Structure 1
Amino acid sequence: MTSGEEEISRVLSALADPTRRRILDALVGRGAATPTALAEVVPVTRQAIVKHLGVLTRAGLVTVRREGREARYTVVPGPMDATAAWMERTAAVWGSRLAAIRRIAEAAEGQATDLGRTSS
């Protein structure tokens, strides 16, 4: 697996949890926040927020900056952008495949219709 594939896997794994997605949404809305501030808007404990932030940090989706005793987290968009680009490429490939299947099915349906007319 390439490093790009590993990054995408980490991002998708981190985003699989709805609580982590809510934390990311809250961080995007606030710009930066402490775990305590996030616990006020995401309905889990501060300790759970810290654990989720650890997963998001390891996935490269957030970064932490210490300000005295507080830790402030911010979103890092790069890994999300790379994952979105991969998803768009994958969707385009599947769109092409499905269009080809549709053309084959419509051609086969047209041939069956034509055969039905000639055998009448």
Structure 2
Amino acid sequence: DRRARLLAARENFELIESKDEKQTDDVIQTILTDADKGAMLEASSRLAHLVQHQLIDRVGGEDRSVRQAPFAVLVRAGSAAILVELGFVSNPTELKQLLDPKHQDALAEAIADAIVAYGAGKSSKAR
């Protein structure tokens, strides 16, 4: 979505070491274009859905959907890559959970299981 693209462009700007504004704009445009292409985007989407569903199944929480944005750290990975939002430290209830070692273990296990499922070629089930 547009907000995610703008956020990614802003975050990516700090990673680009260019003094020429036009060159910087060209690099950002390339990142935005590349993120919309190819097998890596599909692979990343499949991995993201697997992780999302494993996390919801294991620890519950709201399904906030999988979103796509061309963050440089993801685009440059060269393989399936995702960013995982595990909670909000600004939310006192979620912060308490995030600090709980048992909850941390459950989060880690859910992510690990999703990665194993991804490696086995599985896809997430539609909700």
TM-score (norm 2): 0.25
RCO (CA 8 Å, sep 6+): is it higher in 1 or 2?
2
More strand as a share of residues: 1
